[in-house]
A and B are shown apart, each in its own frame.
Chain A
Amino acid sequence: MKEGPGKAFLLCNEAIVRGALESDVKMVSCYPGSPTTEILDTFSEISPKFDFQMEISANEKVALETCAGASMVGLRSMSSMKSVGMNVASDSLFSLSYTGIKGGMVVVVADDPHAHSSQTEQDGRPFGPGAYVPLLEPSYPEEARRMTKRAFELSERHGTPVIMRTTTRVNHQSGIVQLDNLQRTPFKKLSWGHPPGRFVTVADSARKFKAALLERTARIQKEFESSDMNVVKSTDSDLGIVTCGAGYNYSVDAGRILGINPSILKLGTTYPLPKKLIAEFISKLKTVVIVEELQPYLELNVTAIAKDANPALKIYGKWTGHFSESLEYNPNIVVDAMAGVLGRKAPVDYAAILTKAAELKKGLPDRPPTFCPGCPHRATLHAVLEATKGMKHILSTDIGCYSMSFLQPLEYGDSLLSMGACLGVATGMQYAAEEKVIAMIGDSTFWHAGLPGLVNAIHHNDNLTLIILDNEVTAMTGQQPDPGRDYNAGGRPAKPLILENVIKAMGIDDITIVDPYQVRKAVGPIRESLTRKGPNVIISRRACALYADRNKRRRGEVIGTNKVDKDVCKRPYTCIRSFHCPAISIDDADRKAYISKELCDRCDVCAKLCPYGSIKPREGE
């Protein structure tokens, strides 16, 4: 982190961290989740050099509560999570909005339109009105930095947590950011100093808090009416756009592409909405287009406001079919919709370009995300598929890299709902289905939300087998340490929890531990475990390959590669079938397997699968 003033090219998530540091944040707690993960990663990376406290929490609810506790005392705190993480944390958010806080508290909540790396396209904005928590929405990195600072001030001034709502294309946008000075104060514990019951909300106190929070919300709304976080660009056009977040970026470019100059109201404060400002903006227009991704939240509100402010106003958006509630927007979608509203043709025929491209791409193979070379999940799944041959079963899987098993080429897995859901779902399945029921979860997801499901399965003696893929870290989001590691954020020492000890203490003695890299040896014990009555547990333990490689490089170890001895290969393709490593392909010349030197991680699993022993270390090349 550079000292200000200056300029830097930053990812929006880094700009948010910058804004928090410039705001003298003192407590940070998060659980990783795309598209917010780089907020956690950046805080973690710099934390040894700054005097804020930080935890990579067991889950988002704990993360939010950690911030709540610190902000009750009076410190400034920040958490970040994806919107599905806020589903987990929201139980406490709703109460916290009642009790309020003392030190500024900002929670970044990121939606993922297009479900790039999420199970749904959830719109997180309803958390604002639902919990009476102010929502701020930036569109680009520099604005996100400034808005983060405003969010802390707002939070502290009104004693409320503040949500900064983003979307994937805002979080994962880089741009040039202004750096202000880092005016940090030394970390200091504060004295509690509150009267008893200050943060207790139940019954009578809840009713009092509710009345107070309605007043607070009214005050904040009044403040937002004149806030410079809402930007009005007035032109002489009677066509206007009301937009927020990523929609603003596409609206500006669409205007340029179409050669039009509409008035634009860019809303930065999307809860509580500045109703007078909106009324004033739309009162001068004949036509307004609402450009917002996901739910028609602004559209609903603008329509309601227009009833009095401008009943003749033509409002275009999702309800008129010009935009969809599905998928993310992009410049050409907005151009086409605006052209539709204006009743003219777009200057570029996007449909024709896409048709031509589809023709050129005939026969181009898909490249969905898949397990990395060396990934222990690939080996575990191969062993499970071998072990379950002839065994009718249902696989209730969970959130993590192993979720990808349902994709091509494996297409293995029957249900996936949310973090930790594999266990509760498996419990229901084992009551209802004739087949064997297997639940599958990673170590980080198990600590996050799997524990209650396992408690339940043990208590009710449910007949299911839980497979825990223990790769030591939260791999999917970039190998952050989880409660199984002996360190946490910024490398601070932490107490490692041992999976089998915890599970044994919970009441399961039938625990089978296998090493997926010993793929053939793992099949028998997995099969035996699956044939015993549950609840029982299989732990498949091997570090994430990317994490292990990083550690090897740090220790100066060479990561070798394998090759196929073509004199020995008899083309059984056992190294490919049900394995599908990106490093292995087929040589078109002789149709024998070929291992890419650039991609091989030398996990040696394919060598163990080959019945002829044709896969050998590549030496001296």
Chain B
Amino acid sequence: MPAKEFSIYMTGVGGQGLVLLSNVMGSACAAAGVRALTGEQHGLSQRSGSINVHMRIGEDIQSPLIPVGGADAILALEALEALRYVEYLKPGGVVLMNSRVQHPVVETKEHVRDKTAKYMSAETVRSRMAEVTDKIAVIDALGIANKAGNPLTENVVMLGAIATLEDFPVPIESLKQSIAANVPAKAVDVNLRAFDMGMQAARDMLCNIVKCRE
């Protein structure tokens, strides 16, 4: 019986380490004998723009792109970016989103013009997403990364969060080995700590509504 298919729509802002995250997941899959493929973005759009990676796990999947309405989960390293790709989420799919908002320069430009304008908040994103799913975890990934010891591990906190899900078909040990192999040697410990803390955070928020690993 092949592993269940699982598609994750991963999003964020250029520079947040999304490609590293997909490499860690993909290498873990290769090591665990689980078939994985991704559709990635490189080049122009990386420059502080909105970015996305389609991560697909499953024996029979051929398309690196997830169809609209086909993602089991959205993993957003930045809050607004979760909403930007909401059409990819399956009805009732899981949303794991960072609570951090990076205000786009376009929005700030509007703020200078309009003194009454307010930035779109993570809470607004959460409440809009709640119209299509009840499985949402808003994670203070930056706060957790700082506690783990390095703000740059924000992406690995979010990886830990998704690894909590029982349906995510990659063994925890493979993920940890893959983290160790893909980050600089001196940063392995802090990244593994961030991973564990991310797992715990998602567990606290999600496991009463979504099946989590034991």
Contact = CB atoms under 8 A, between A and B. Distances in A.
A415 B61 CA distance: 42
Contacts of A361: 83-84, 86, 128
Given A37-B42, A140-B64, A365-B107, 8 more contacts: A172-B39, A174-B23, A331-B65, A332-B69, A350-B68, A367-B81, A401-B47, A582-B48
Interface stretch (B30-38, B187-195, B204-212): B30-38
Interface stretch (A44-52, A296-304, A491-499, A591-599): A591-599
Contact of B110 (A9, A350, A365): A365
Given A9-B30, A249-B62, A38 B112 contact: no
Contacts, number: 197
A357 interface: yes
Nearest to A32: B43
Interface in A388-411: 401, 404, 408-409
B63 A331 contact: yes
B69 to A, nearest CB: 5
28 contacts: A9-B30, A34-B44, A37-B43, A116-B44, A117-B45, A140-B62, A169-B64, A172-B40, A173-B39, A253-B62, A253-B63, A332-B69, A350-B69, A361-B128, A363-B120, A364-B83, A364-B84, A368-B50, A369-B14, A369-B46, A369-B49, A370-B48, A576-B108, A576-B112, A580-B108, A580-B109, A581-B105, A591-B111
B79 to A, nearest CB: 11
A584 interface: yes
A588 B118 contact: yes
Interface in B92-137: 102-112, 115, 118-120, 128-129, 131-132
Contacts of B86: 357, 360-361
B202 interface: no
B43 A117 contact: yes
Interface in B59-83: 60-70, 80-81, 83
Contacts of A38: 42
B13 interface: yes
A257 B67 CA distance: 10
Contact of B30 (A176, A348, A573, A588): A176
B41 interface: yes
Contacts of A354: 68, 87
A615 interface: no
A517 interface: no
Given A249-B64, A367-B84, A588 B119 contact: yes
Q: Identify the interface centre among B66, B103, B119: most chain A CB within 10 Å of its CB.
A: B103
Given A368-B49, A576-B112, A174 B103 contact: no
Given A9-B36, A174-B40, A369 B106 contact: no
Nearest to B61: A253
A175 interface: yes
B189 to A, nearest CB: 19
A360 B112 contact: no
B151 interface: yes
B67 A348 contact: yes
A37 to B, nearest CB: 7
B75 to A, nearest CB: 16
Contacts of A174: 22-23, 26, 36-38, 40, 64
Please provide the 5 A-B residue pairs with the shortest distance between their CB atoms, ordered closest to farther.
Answer: A34-B43, A369-B49, A117-B44, A357-B87, A365-B107
A7 interface: yes
A9 B50 contact: no
Nearest to B40: A172
A348 B68 CA distance: 9
A248 interface: yes
Interface string A402-438: 0010001100000000000000000000000000000
A454 B83 CA distance: 47
Contacts of A372: 15, 47-48
A599 B142 CA distance: 13
Contacts of B65: 169, 249-250, 330-331
A335 interface: yes
B23 A116 contact: no
B21 to A, nearest CB: 12
A18 B87 CA distance: 36
B120 A369 contact: no
B199 to A, nearest CB: 22
Nearest to A250: B63
Q: Identify the interface centre among A11, A256, A367: most chain B CB within 10 Å of its CB.
A: A367
A353 interface: yes
Q: Identify the interface centre among A353, A408, A588, A596: most chain B CB within 10 Å of its CB.
A: A353
A94 interface: no
B211 to A, nearest CB: 24
A586 B87 contact: no
A248 B112 contact: no
Contacts of B42: 34-35, 37-38, 172
A343 B17 CA distance: 44
A582 B43 contact: no
Interface in A318-366: 330-332, 335, 348, 350, 353-354, 356-357, 360-361, 363-366
B142 A365 contact: no
Given A348-B68, A409-B105, A598-B142, A476 B44 contact: yes
B47 A404 contact: yes
Contacts of B155: none
A256 B13 CA distance: 32
A242 B1 CA distance: 31
B47 A176 contact: no
Interface in A1-55: 7-9, 11, 34-35, 37-38
B27 interface: yes
Contact of A369 (B45, B109, B111): B45
A235 to B, nearest CB: 16
B8 interface: no
Contacts of B107: 365
Given A173-B39, A476-B44, A582-B48, A9 B26 contact: yes
A477 B29 CA distance: 28
Nearest to A581: B105
A176 B35 CA distance: 7
B47 A599 contact: no
A29 B86 CA distance: 42
B120 A365 contact: yes
B109 A409 contact: yes
A331 B112 contact: no
B190 to A, nearest CB: 16
